Amino acid sequence: MRVRVTSLFLAILLAPTVAFAESHKADLFGGGSGGTGGSKIGGYIVGVNWGTCVPWIDVVGPTVSTQYGGHDGKSLTQTAYHGGVRLTLTSMQRDRAAEKAAPSTSQKYYVDKDVKPFVHFLVGGVYSNINDGSGQALKDWSVTIGGGVDKFFHKVSLNGRDHVTGVGFRVQYDYVVRSGDSTNFHRVSAGVVWRILKEHK
């Protein structure tokens, strides 16, 4: 089953680029984050998601968050690192007007909206260090299920169609499930996102 899922995912990513007309190359994200789950911690998060030839599918990673706080009266530093797949919901809407204007091509066009709600599924790890001089640390594999919304403020016209680019704002929620530690945690993040477009001839 795992082999079939992996093969399907690779087939989607490697689909011929002529099948779609897409615009973005990558989104860079950085901001603050806070979490809870036996600990009250806060810090920062940075990450990138990469556009594929399928408009609503991005490859996420690396995404890294480092947070500081307390756990059971002790100082704690926790770092989470993940990668995976993101689905952007509004990017699934076809641009029928653009397709009618270019009926001789095989491309499928999709609307590039400035508000982009998304969901993602990520895998990775969590490293927790208890800062009490004992050297105690926990290293766990983890799975992250979450989502959020991006809001962009600038558009450019490429080949007669509008595409969002430049600076935006992201709000994101994640639920992180840890393998070795029974304490899973919630993480809420907010910050600035920068969209980089692909080169268009």
Instruction: Read off the pLDDT band of 59 (50, 70, 90).
Output: very high
Going from N- to C-terminal start, the domains of the chain cover 2-197
Q: Which residue has the higher pLDDT, 6 or 148?
A: 148
In whole angstroms, what is the distance from residue 188 CA to residue 171 CA? 8
In whole angstroms, what is the distance from residue 147 CA to residue 171 CA? 9
Give per-residue pLDDT as tens, 62-78: 999 999 987 666 788 88
Query: Scanning the structure block, which residue is given the tokens 């594999």?
Result: 141
Q: Is 143 helix (H, G, I), strand (E, B) or coil?
A: strand
Average pLDDT over residues 70-87: 86
Average pLDDT over residues 180-191: 86
Instruction: Read off the pLDDT band of 52 (50, 70, 90).
Output: very high
In whole angstroms, what is the distance from residue 171 CA to residue 192 CA? 9
Whether 95 shows a pLDDT value over 80: the answer reads yes
| 2-197 CATH, one of 2.40.160.20, 3.40.50.2000, 2.40.110.10, 2.60.40.420 | 2.40.160.20
Query: Scanning the structure block, which residue is given the tokens 């099948």?
Result: 19
